[in-house]
Structure 1
């Protein structure tokens, strides 16, 4: 797959670059460039990112960072079985637990929420950092909702992290998930309160909490471009009506001349 000229491979994280040092220099550079493309495309073009991840995987399947990148690209493309296999491979190579929550979410994607809940209660969760534990809580709550256990999902999300007033990288998503579960349970007023709290914490726009809040408040947004198109369409209709009137007038005139 083509690599843009502005991609050098130096953009990757230093830890990943260090992993690639086990490869011949030219090969390491090629792998690095493909990993940069994965990171660049994964949010806006998951399928494109997946394609680059497969190239990197063919070049260096024995590098844990490559297996992890391939896993995230497959996950973003909703290829959950493939993602889970790559995450498991990366975990075997590193012995770490950081991928445990996303592995559990892959189980959800494969229609196995019970397996995700089993993973949420496994000893590995205690080895996760705070961010990982919050992520695991979100996955567990999602699994509960998958199983129709809405009240249990709400209880799962109730935690010191949810109650805290301090804003952490996970705060907006945690509040959003809680608000969404409350809304599904018919607790609209509470849901509105928590969507508002999610908006306060969502400094980088990682959720659509502001839109959900506006929807609850009955606010409708009109796209400026849509408005312009509507006005242009209206003007076009008016012009067409005028043309029809002119044509009618001309036909009447012709009839008068013929009768004369």
Structure 2
């Protein structure tokens, strides 16, 4: 139920996770699910505790980027950067390493280090033309960092690349690109149009 609800109803998912914890707190999968539910509700301290518990039970490093991002959420970007340089990162698969890079870049931005954030995101994965599950998010983060640094033309280029790789609409890259191009979207119908009624018979020609 946590997995089913977490995207559309994170509060509901969190409620189910608390029930699961009461019933099976010694099961690693339950602690991990509880961590994801807390994370989705921005309860970062709770999420971090659950992720740590799951990691202790399994010895698996795949939760390391999420734990680092919880440190960011708790206002500790320096700790997130420390984790980005830890040996555990080498145990991650390619997707996990990209996720860790995104977290580290976010931590740099939290600290006002925009140029360092841009450099952090520059990687073979960013330069590759191959589209992977993480490609759109990586390109989007790079474009957003460039824009924050005032490099608008480069940002536009990378937002466009993010749009090309974002087949499932996981980012709002298309909206950001349109905004940079000065495109403004308006509703097809205004309130006046919706409230308008046909002319009264008295106004028609006889």
The correspondence of residues 122-133 of structure 1 with structure 2, limited to 5 A, is: 122-133=86-97
Alignment-derived partner of residue 16 in structure 1: none
Deviations 1:127-160 (A, max 9, x none): 1000000000000000000000000000000000
Query: By how many angstroms is 1:39 displaced?
Result: 1.0
Query: By how many angstroms is 1:223 displaced?
Result: 3.1
Alignment-derived partner of residue 212 in structure 1: 176
What count of residue pairs does the alignment treat as equivalent? 201
TM-score (norm. length: structure 2): 0.94
- Which consecutive aligned stretches of 4+ in structure 1 deviate over 6 angstroms post-superposition? none
Unaligned runs of 5+ in 1: 1-36, 247-260
Alignment-derived partner of residue 254 in structure 1: none
TM-score (norm. length: structure 1): 0.75
Query: By how many angstroms is 1:228 displaced?
Result: 5.1
Unaligned runs of 5+ in 2: none
* 1:42 and 2:6 are equivalent in the alignment: yes
Alignment-derived partner of residue 191 in structure 2: 229
Query: By how many angstroms is 1:221 displaced?
Result: 1.4
Query: By how many angstroms is 1:58 displaced?
Result: 0.8
Alignment-derived partner of residue 112 in structure 1: 76
How far apart, CA to CA, are the structure 2 residues paired with 1:185 and 1:122?
Answer: 28
How far apart, CA to CA, are the structure 2 residues paired with 1:214 and 1:41?
Answer: 32
How far apart, CA to CA, are the structure 2 residues paired with 1:69 and 1:144?
Answer: 28
SS in 2 for 1:220: coil
Query: By how many angstroms is 1:116 displaced?
Result: 0.1
Deviations 1:39-90 (A, max 9, x none): 1111111111100111111111111000000000000000000000000000
* 1:139 and 2:103 are equivalent in the alignment: yes
Query: By how many angstroms is 1:220 displaced?
Result: 1.3
**Which of these residues, 161, 186, 200, is aligned with residue 197 of structure 1?**
161
How far apart, CA to CA, are the structure 1 residues paired with 2:126 and 2:106?
Answer: 16
Q: Which has the larger radius of gyration?
A: 1
SS in 2 for 1:47: helix
**Which of these residues, 113, 120, 130, is aligned with residue 166 of structure 1?**
130
The Cα RMSD (Å) is 1.5
